[in-house]
Chains A and B, each alone.
Chain A
Amino acid sequence: DTGVSQDPRHKITKRGQNVTFRCDPISEHNRLYWYRQTLGQGPEFLTYFQNEAQLEKSRLLSDRFSAERPKGSFSTLEIQRTEQGDSAMYLCASKGVTNEKLFFGSGTQLSVL
């Protein structure tokens, strides 16, 4: 069990650029979540996959955001035409079917200049 890993740890980009983050969940976990966390706040749900199917999306996930989990393993979160308001920590988490515990990665800190 190598835990949930996220890449990159930090990303600095200019407004209007596209960015993509990657998450590798714990291998036997079929459920994968993306959260966004801003300073002083708790994580806010963005979207959720069960295997390769994206089953739920928050209204926080605007049209500029897209997430994929093509083979039911790793996932990517892309933000197009980034805005300064997108600056946040993007957290990935995974869990198994029979285990209600959610395991988090270390997050990707995005700064949009």
Chain B
Amino acid sequence: AQTVTQSQPEMSVQEAETVTLSCTYDTSESNYYLFWYKQPPSRQMILVIRQEAYKQQNATENRFSVNFQKAAKSFSLKISDSQLGDTAMYFCAFMKPNTGNQFYFGTGTSLTVIP
């Protein structure tokens, strides 16, 4: 079974600063996908960024980027120029394709951006 671990239950960052959220996972698979989802107080889960395991290049989406270390099974999210709207729960997720495409989620990190 796949497990996803987020060791930081809560974090805070000053507006305009940079913050990094940690995620590690455990799998014996070589081909898989990793995701970061954001869940604001509205509870709507929103995809932030995704990474294919076979790609060495780290994914970036505007102010969001990842540090994907496949050998270490680490997948951290960096948020640059933090904005108040970034305040939310952030979930790291793992998906193994072609086996029902089940997504496995971590327990989340609650991020607060301080004005």
Contacts and interface: CB of A to CB of B under 8 A. Distances in A.
Q: Chain B's interface: helix, strand, loop or mixed, by majority? A: strand
A104 B44 contact: yes
B95 A100 contact: yes
A44 B107 CA distance: 10
A55 B98 CA distance: 12
B44 A102 contact: no
Interface in A27-46: 31, 33, 40-45
Range class of the B interface residue count: 20 to 34
Specify which of B42, B97, B100, B104 lies most central, judged by the most chain A CB atoms within 10 Å of its CB.
B100
Interface in B88-115: 91, 93, 95, 97, 100-108
Contact of A100 (B42, B97, B100): B97
A74 interface: no
Nearest to B95: A100
Given A40-B108, A43-B105, A104 B45 contact: yes
Contacts of A69: none
Please list the 8 inter-chain residue pairs (A to B) with the smallest Cβ-Cβ separation, ordered nearest first.
Answer: A42-B105, A104-B45, A56-B100, A42-B91, A43-B105, A106-B44, A100-B33, A42-B107
